[in-house]
Structure 1
Amino acid sequence: MAVLVCSPLWLGCATVLAADSDTVISWQEMQQVRTEGKSVWQLEIENDSLLLNRDDRYYTSGIHLQQTSYLRSDLEVSEYGWRFGQDLYTPTDIKLPPAQIPAIDHPYTGWLYAGMFHQKTAATGRSWRVGLDLGCIGHCAGGEWTQNHLHRLIQQPLPQGWSTQYRSEFGAILSGEYSPGRLLPFSGTDLTPRIKARFGNVITDASAQLEFRTGRLNALPYQPASYGFARIAASAIGYNATIEGGYFNREIPKVHAKHSGGEIEAGYLWQSDRYVLSASIIRRANEIKEVSNAVGAQNFVRLQFSCMM
Structure 2
Amino acid sequence: MRDSFFRLMTACLLLSAVPGARAGLLSGLGDDYARVQAAGRVSHLFDIDNDTLLLNDSDGFYTSGLRYTRSATLDSGGTATTYGWRIGQEQYTPSDIKLPAALVRPSDHPYAAWLYGGFFKEVRRADGTYTRLGIDIGCLGPCAGGEWTQTRFHRLLNQPLPQGWSRQVRNEVGVVLHAETAPVRWTPHPSFDLTPIFNARFGNIFTDAGAGLVARAGQLNLSPAGSALHAYLRTEVRAVGYNATLQGGYFSKNNPHTVAPKRLLGIAEAGIAWTRGAFGVKAAVIRRSNEIKDLPNSIGAQNYLQLQFSYTP
Normalised TM-score (structure 1): 0.91
1:254-309 alpha-carbon deviations (Å, 9 max, x no partner): 31111111200000000012001000000001100011112111000000000012
Determine the structure 2 residue equivalent to 1:231.
234
Pair 1:305 & 2:309 matched: yes
**Greater fraction of residues in helix:** 2
Letter matched to residue 208 of structure 1: A
Q: 1:27 aligns with which of 23, 26, 30?
A: 30
| Aligned-partner Cα distance in 2 for 1:287–1:25 | 40
Determine the structure 2 residue equivalent to 1:209.
212
Determine the structure 2 residue equivalent to 1:159.
162
TM-superposed deviation, 1:8: 5.6
Letter matched to residue 189 of structure 2: F
Distance 1:273 1:25, change over 3 A: farther
After TM superposition, the structure 1 = structure 2 runs for residues 14-93 of structure 1, keeping only pairs within 5 Å, are: 26-73=29-76, 75-93=78-96
- Assess if the C-alpha contact under 8 Å between 1:76 and 1:220 holds in 2: no
Secondary structure in 1 matching 2:52: helix
Could you tell me which runs of 5 or more consecutive residues in structure 1 were left unpaired when the two chains were aligned: 1-6, 10-23
Determine the structure 2 residue equivalent to 1:282.
286
Identity %: 45
| Aligned-partner Cα distance in 1 for 2:185–2:309 | 25
| Aligned-partner Cα distance in 2 for 1:99–1:27 | 51
Determine the structure 1 residue equivalent to 2:297.
293
Q: 2:271 aligns with which of 267, 276, 300?
A: 267
TM-superposed deviation, 1:38: 1.2
Determine the structure 2 residue equivalent to 1:112.
115
| Aligned-partner Cα distance in 1 for 2:259–2:244 | 11
After TM superposition, the structure 1 = structure 2 runs for residues 133-172 of structure 1, keeping only pairs within 5 Å, are: 133-172=136-175
Secondary structure in 1 matching 2:245: helix
Could you tell me which runs of 5 or more consecutive residues in structure 2 were left unpaired when the two chains were aligned: 1-6, 10-26
- Assess if the C-alpha contact under 8 Å between 1:77 and 1:221 holds in 2: no
Secondary structure in 2 matching 1:27: helix
- Assess if the C-alpha contact under 8 Å between 2:107 and 2:292 holds in 1: no
Deviates more, 1:65-74 or 1:263-272: 65-74
TM-superposed deviation, 1:26: 2.1
TM-superposed deviation, 1:201: 0.3
Letter matched to residue 242 of structure 1: T
Report how many residues are paired: 290
Normalised TM-score (structure 2): 0.89
| Aligned-partner Cα distance in 2 for 1:219–1:249 | 43
Secondary structure in 1 matching 2:38: helix
RMSD of equivalent CA atoms: 1.7
- Assess if the C-alpha contact under 8 Å between 2:238 and 2:264 holds in 1: yes
TM-superposed deviation, 1:76: 2.0
